[in-house]
Structure 1
Amino acid sequence: MDYKAIVYEIQDKYLSPYACKDCDSRGRARPLPSCPLRTEFQRDRDRIIHSKAFRRLKHKTQVFLSPEGDHYRTRLTHTLEVSQIARTIARSLRLNEDLTEAIALGHDLGHTPYGHAGERALGKFTHFTHNEQSLRMVDCIENDGKGMNLTFEVRDGILNHTGEGKAVTLEGNVVAFADRIAYINHDIDDAVRGGVIAANDIPKRFTDLFGDSHSKRISSMISDIITESYGKNTVAQTAEFAQGMSELRQYMFDKVYTSPLAKSEEKKAIKMIEYLYLYYCDHENEMPKQFIYESEPIARRVCDYISTMSDRYAVCKFESITVPQNWSKL
């Protein structure tokens, strides 16, 4: 039985005319032998899930650095929440869920240890953004430098999930919205759990618009996008919700993201990442062989290496460089 043909038939029958169907993909840089079971976007999703870069996300910071508790988000749980939100929107808009899921699962693979703190640390020395690094991760870092060889549409969605760019597919645009919905809401949840803010500190204009609980906020934001976008060749919010989310995000910057309590250890993390960057620029032979090549500048290669580190691996490398090791006679 041609299982892929069944998927293509279902997509032809049920997906929106504005969806990106698997058969319309622009393909890969290096063609692959056909898989008898999975479509190309399904293969991309599986390649991402089974990658080392994806597994490392469980030990990378979301907002709270090395939190003492089991229930704070990590970069991995953030990624899963983005995927769930994005798939809910994509299904309702009759878009390609496999493409949406692949983009969502890969969108943060290039994040540094300690999240945006590490990103800012590397940005002091050279151009570094996590979305561009996520694309480098899937293109030329993972699989010992061979990359994952993903389809054009997944790569485009990963690159353009944040920043000035806009994805060429509606599925990619869905992930960009899902990313913002996820982090705004789970960061509120974690901030309340950590005592940075109290639930009743959230201004009434936001609870009136979005709801007074985690689930109500997410549901209202998702519903607004679906209602505003259904049957159209666009993914959008109503003006009221777009303005409200922008103001809520600014509230989070003012009260949470720059809070001394939430960021009490951030300066140490930044100093550590800066030290590692400068150290490996002067000691490139101590990096794994994968990053010792001359086709790109040393700054780029060091950033590539550091971006593969989890929080705890970065600490381990820092300690091995700076802390005297115990000596014993063999």
Structure 2
Amino acid sequence: MGDPVIPHRGAGRWRAPYAADPFHSRGRLVPEPVSPTRSEFQRDRDRIIHATAFRRLKHKTQVFVFHEGDHFRTRLTHTIEVSQIARALARALGLDEDLAEALALSHDLGHTPFGHTGEDALHDCMRAYGGFDHNAQALSIVTRLEHRYADFDGLNLTWETLEGLVKHNGPLLETDGSPAHRYRERGVPAAILEYCAVHDLELASHAGGEAQAAAIADDIAYDAHDIDDGLRAGLFDLDDLRAVPFIAELLDDIEARWPGLERARVIHELGRRVITRFVEDVIGESERRLEALAPRDAAAIRHAGRPVVAFSEPMAQADRDIKAFLFVNMYRHPSVVAVRRQADQVVRDLFGRFLAEPETMPDEWRKAAEGLLTEGRARVVADYIAGMTDRFALDEHRRLFDATPELR
């Protein structure tokens, strides 16, 4: 009969043989009847959207604190932007769009209030008790901390979604079972290892193509919207960005086509072009890698030994250059550092008080901490603080302390 004809992607939704198959998922930890109206990955996406942790992203910081202006990104707006880019990449590469979207929507669920400052502070507070890791926290949220369903804790997501959530930044273990490079110093978080002892997520392999698409979509969204937010906040100007060769080229193109264009439109046009160039590059590079690998199924992607969805080396350098610029000119800007210092103190104050006086937490959390040794109680406290929005963390601080920073 010959090889099957794969329809051109413009003819409708095209799914490659290496895409995750929602009709042959590895299933859920707690078996459930099949939905008559939605695929397994669509159900996962919907459960994530309706989760309490997802709604809280609206009031969790990306870089700026929530009250600095309506036009700056929050974790929620960032997540929506990542989701849009992830779907575009999945569609172009023949991956399952619904799984890519579910992974994009869930990738930041484990983040603390006050952005990376909150995570760094909470990790330092938890250092003696195994540390804090936002990927491990996201897994805890979707497998343990969400209390919505009568039959199970968490969201009971499919194996593919859980695998992508945990491994979207690459393997956590080497093939010999030792921690991968990024976990070499502190080890793989206990919460992940404990879950995998019950439901093995194969930590020594890469995640599927959909998770890789969501991960690189996160990088693209960060680069574009942090440039946009930094410009609008006045932390740096367009001329400063010319220090990044990739951005200088884009600005030259905009200026040549629209001389004298007003600044606000230049900023928007720059953001559009950053995203477009990165997305087009990822599609081209990923197609080259896929052609060389010729994967027959999703397992071949997982065991390829390197990411299949990736930037070309010139665009990987552009990504590194943008992040280096933003680190100095945005994340370490004096006004941002001042707010970070105050937010750090809020998290440390809350952790110390709740650990010493668990009765100051709400009843649900107080009961969860009752009778536990210090390490177990610290984990409950970390779960409680990690779930807070910026606003609620400040409210809790005001309730418990005489003076609370304004974060300005």
TM-score (norm 2): 0.73
Contact 2:14-2:91 at 8 Å conserved across structures: no
In the TM superposition, 1:1-330 aligns within 5 A as 14-126=14-126, 127-143=131-147, 146-162=153-169, 165=172, 167-202=206-241, 203-208=243-248, 213-230=270-287, 232=290, 233=295, 234-291=308-365, 292-293=368-369, 294=372, 297-323=376-402
Cα distance change of structure 1 residues 209 and 160 upon mapping to structure 2, 3 Å threshold: farther
Q: What's the offset of the Cα at 1:210?
A: 5.9
64-73 vs 103-112, which moves further:
64-73
- Which amino acid counterpart does residue 286 of structure 2 have in structure 1? S
Query: Equivalent residue for 2:261?
Result: none
Cα distance change of structure 1 residues 45 and 188 upon mapping to structure 2, 3 Å threshold: same
204-213 vs 46-55, which moves further:
204-213
206-215 vs 76-85, which moves further:
206-215
Contact 2:83-2:101 at 8 Å conserved across structures: yes
Query: Equivalent residue for 2:197?
Result: none
Q: What's the offset of the Cα at 1:167?
A: 4.4
Cα distance change of structure 1 residues 288 and 35 upon mapping to structure 2, 3 Å threshold: farther
Q: CA RMSD in A?
A: 2.0
Q: What is the alpha-carbon distance in structure 1 between the residues aligned to residue 363 and residue 34 of structure 2? A: 32
Query: Equivalent residue for 1:8?
Result: none
Identify unmatched segments of 5+ residues in structure 2: 1-12, 173-204, 255-269, 296-307, 404-408
Q: What's the offset of the Cα at 1:318?
A: 0.7
Query: Equivalent residue for 1:327?
Result: none
Q: What's the offset of the Cα at 1:125?
A: 2.0
C-alpha deviations, 1:9-31, integer Å up to 9, x for none?
Answer: xxxx8311111110232111111
Q: What is the alpha-carbon distance in structure 1 between the residues aligned to residue 137 and residue 170 of structure 2? A: 13
83-92 vs 199-208, which moves further:
199-208
Q: What is the alpha-carbon distance in structure 2 between the residues aligned to residue 223 and residue 99 of structure 1? A: 21
Cα distance change of structure 1 residues 90 and 266 upon mapping to structure 2, 3 Å threshold: same
Q: What's the offset of the Cα at 1:133?
A: 1.0
Q: What is the alpha-carbon distance in structure 2 between the residues aligned to residue 163 and residue 289 of structure 1? A: 38
- Which amino acid counterpart does residue 216 of structure 1 have in structure 2? R
TM-score (norm 1): 0.89
133-142 vs 186-195, which moves further:
133-142
- Which amino acid counterpart does residue 134 of structure 2 have in structure 1? H
Q: What's the offset of the Cα at 1:209?
A: 5.7
Q: What is the alpha-carbon distance in structure 2 between the residues aligned to residue 288 and residue 98 of structure 1? A: 36
Q: Percent identity?
A: 43
Report which of the two structures shows the higher radius of gyration computed on alpha carbons.
2
Contact 2:54-2:106 at 8 Å conserved across structures: yes
Q: What is the alpha-carbon distance in structure 2 between the residues aligned to residue 289 and residue 28 of structure 1? A: 31
- Which amino acid counterpart does residue 353 of structure 2 have in structure 1? Y
Q: What's the offset of the Cα at 1:288?
A: 3.5
Identify unmatched segments of 5+ residues in structure 1: 1-12, 325-330
13-22 vs 268-277, which moves further:
13-22
Any idea what SS the aligned residue of 2:68 has? coil
Contact 1:131-1:162 at 8 Å conserved across structures: no
Cα distance change of structure 1 residues 290 and 156 upon mapping to structure 2, 3 Å threshold: farther
- Which amino acid counterpart does residue 225 of structure 1 have in structure 2? V
C-alpha deviations, 1:25-84, integer Å up to 9, x for none?
Answer: 211111112211011110110001011111110000000123432110000000000000
Contact 2:220-2:278 at 8 Å conserved across structures: yes
C-alpha deviations, 1:144-201, integer Å up to 9, x for none?
Answer: 6911111111112222334764742100001110001101110110000000011221
Cα distance change of structure 1 residues 209 and 230 upon mapping to structure 2, 3 Å threshold: farther
Contact 1:196-1:262 at 8 Å conserved across structures: no
Q: What is the alpha-carbon distance in structure 2 between the residues aligned to residue 97 and residue 118 of structure 1? A: 32
C-alpha deviations, 1:90-137, integer Å up to 9, x for none?
Answer: 101111000000000011011101010100101112211212211111
Query: Equivalent residue for 2:262?
Result: none
Q: What is the alpha-carbon distance in structure 2 between the residues aligned to residue 288 and residue 47 of structure 1? A: 26
C-alpha deviations, 1:250-272, integer Å up to 9, x for none?
Answer: 11111111111223211111001
